[in-house]
């Protein structure tokens, strides 16, 4: 039995805490206060930290956690010294009886990776700031093409894959998605649901690949409806990659 819960951090980050009867792991601890409190209160046995990319809001809590308990920190090959186990594409990690596979997904940063587990037919994905519910991360270090390729990999994962991303951006992402596809009923109804959840302070995650394929414009760039809307607005895009770039640049200024 796996329990995956969000711990809110900063203004809109989620730190993910995964617990089985063998212990717990934490993904992207940008800060440690709430996490260490929960671990203490529930007497959890924290076994490892997983990092998706080097940004401070995903790594800032590592040192304090290690000061509390010496455990392994898995992450990409970047300049963060506290990552003692460097992983790369197709690296296999076995933790708490779960087999994770590393997928390199550069774009948001060059070092960005995701952790995917098939989990006996109930797949899970921790994808940091690359694929968001209803959107995708900003392109800071990589190229738009890299981000497009990275999302192309993720969108081929099984439809029932649960997606645990690094921020609560769903409402603003879907507001943008409505502009890209004004007639998409799935986006409109998801947006209305998400507004209600946000009002109650309930996380809108996890999502699934199935939901994203229906409502996330960045995964839908091959569709005629989107191509028409984008061509009308920008009249330059020629192929799926161009359309992706046009939508990402539009979102940057939305
Ligand atoms: Zn980031």
pLDDT in tens, 129-151: 999 999 999 999 999 999 999 99
Handedness of CA 122, 126, 127, 128 (dihedral sign): positive
Question: Is 237 a residue whose pLDDT tops 90?
Answer: no
What is the whole-number distance in angstroms between the Cα of residue 55 and the centre of ligand 1? 5
Question: Is 236 a residue whose pLDDT tops 80?
Answer: no
Give the pLDDT confidence score for residue 26 in this predicted structure.
Answer: 98
The residues, ordered by sequence, that sit 6+ positions from 44 with a Cβ below 8 Å of its Cβ are: 17, 19, 23, 24, 38
pLDDT, the chain, mean:
96
What is the whole-number distance in angstroms between the Cα of residue 18 and the centre of ligand 1? 20
What is the whole-number distance in angstroms between the Cα of residue 25 and the centre of ligand 1? 20
What is the whole-number distance in angstroms between the Cα of residue 82 and the centre of ligand 1? 18
What is the whole-number distance in angstroms between the Cα of residue 130 and the centre of ligand 1? 8
Region 77-84: mean pLDDT is: 96
Question: Is 173 a residue whose pLDDT tops 90?
Answer: yes
Decide: helix, strand or coil at residue 143: coil
- Give phi and psi for 9, each to the nearest 5: -145, 150
What is the whole-number distance in angstroms between the Cα of residue 166 and the centre of ligand 1? 8
**Out of 5-9, 226-230, 249-253, which region has the weakest mean confidence (pLDDT)?**
226-230
What is the whole-number distance in angstroms between the Cα of residue 153 and the centre of ligand 1? 19
Instruction: Tell me the whole-structure pTM to 2 decimals.
Output: 0.97
Give the pLDDT confidence score for residue 61 in this predicted structure.
Answer: 98
H/E stretch holding 148 reads helix 144-154
What is the whole-number distance in angstroms between the Cα of residue 132 and the centre of ligand 1? 11
Angle at 5 between CA 66 and CA 3, to 5 degrees: 100
Tens of pLDDT, residue by residue over 106-131, are 999 999 999 999 999 999 999 999 99
What is the whole-number distance in angstroms between the Cα of residue 224 and the centre of ligand 1? 31
Tens of pLDDT, residue by residue over 187-206, are 999 999 999 999 999 999 99
Question: Is 225 a residue whose pLDDT tops 90?
Answer: no
What is the whole-number distance in angstroms between the Cα of residue 183 and the centre of ligand 1? 31
């Amino acid at each position: 039995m796996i329990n995956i819960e969000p711990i809110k951090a900063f203004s809109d980050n989620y730190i993910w805490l995964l617990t089985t009867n063998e212990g717990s792991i934490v993904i992207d601890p940008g800060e440690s206060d709430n996490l260490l409190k929960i671990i203490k209160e529930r007497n959890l046995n924290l076994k490892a930290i997983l990092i998706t990319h080097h940004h401070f809001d995903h790594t800032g809590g590592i040192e304090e956690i290690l000061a509390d308990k010496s455990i392994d920190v898995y992450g990409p090959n970047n300049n963060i010294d506290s990552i003692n186990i460097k992983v790369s594409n197709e690296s296999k990690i076995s933790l708490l009886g779960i087999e994770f596979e590393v997928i390199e997904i550069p774009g948001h940063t060059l070092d960005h990776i995701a952790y995917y587990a098939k989990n006996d037919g109930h797949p899970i994905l921790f994808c940091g700031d690359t694929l968001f519910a209803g959107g995708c991360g900003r392109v800071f270090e990589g190229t738009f093409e890299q981000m497009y390729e990275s999302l192309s990999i993720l969108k081929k994962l099984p439809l029932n894959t649960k997606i645990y991303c690094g921020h609560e951006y769903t409402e603003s992402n879907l507001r943008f998605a409505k502009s890209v596809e004004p007639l998409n009923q799935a986006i409109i109804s998801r947006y209305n649901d998400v507004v209600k959840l946000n009002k109650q302070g309930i996380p809108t995650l996890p999502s699934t690949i199935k939901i994203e394929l229906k409502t996330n414009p960045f995964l839908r760039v091959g569709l005629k409806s989107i191509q028409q809307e984008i061509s009308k607005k920008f009249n330059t895009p020629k192929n799926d990659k161009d359309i992706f770039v046009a939508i990402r640049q539009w979102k940057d200024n939305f």
